[in-house]
Amino acid sequence: MDTITPREIKERLLSGEKLNIIDVREDEEIAEGMIPGARHIRLGDLPMRMSEIEQTGEIIMVCRSGRRSERACEYLEHMGFSGLKNMVGGMLKWHELE
């Protein structure tokens, strides 16, 4: 499974790139903020909402620390998705960049 750092994502967003980011955190965690442009699909909802994930060649999965998003990558890869990347360190590391 490929990984990507919060810094790489932030730099790409600042350069104007549109990224396919899926945030798998719970609703109460989302209330604390999301990466601009990310789509919220809770980890537990992935099986029912997979069809909402655009297969763009790169799909970046995000959670609080990187563990749930890693599981999401593994699940989606098993279901035939490709181009998955896990944001290492999750939103904890993202907030350190602010």
* CATH number, residue 24: 3.40.250.10
What's residue 98's pLDDT?
75
Read off the amino acid at residue 44.
Answer: G
> 81 to each of 42, 45, 58, 61, how far by Cα in Å?
17, 16, 10, 12
What's residue 21's pLDDT?
98
- The whole model's pTM is what? 0.96
What's residue 40's pLDDT?
98
Give dist(CA 10, CA 4) in Å, integer.
11
* Per-position pLDDT tens, the chain of length 98: 899 999 999 999 999 999 999 999 999 999 989 999 999 999 999 999 999 999 999 999 999 999 999 999 999 999 999 999 999 999 999 999 97
Residues annotated as catalytic are: 63
Split into its structural domains, the chain has a count of 1
Domain boundaries, position 60: 2-96
What's residue 1's pLDDT?
82
- The 3-class secondary structure across 9-76, one letter per residue, is HHHHHHCCCCCCEEECCCHHHHCCCCCCCCEECCHHHHHHHHHHCCCCCCEEEECCCCHHHHHHHHHH
Give dist(CA 77, CA 27) in Å, integer.
24
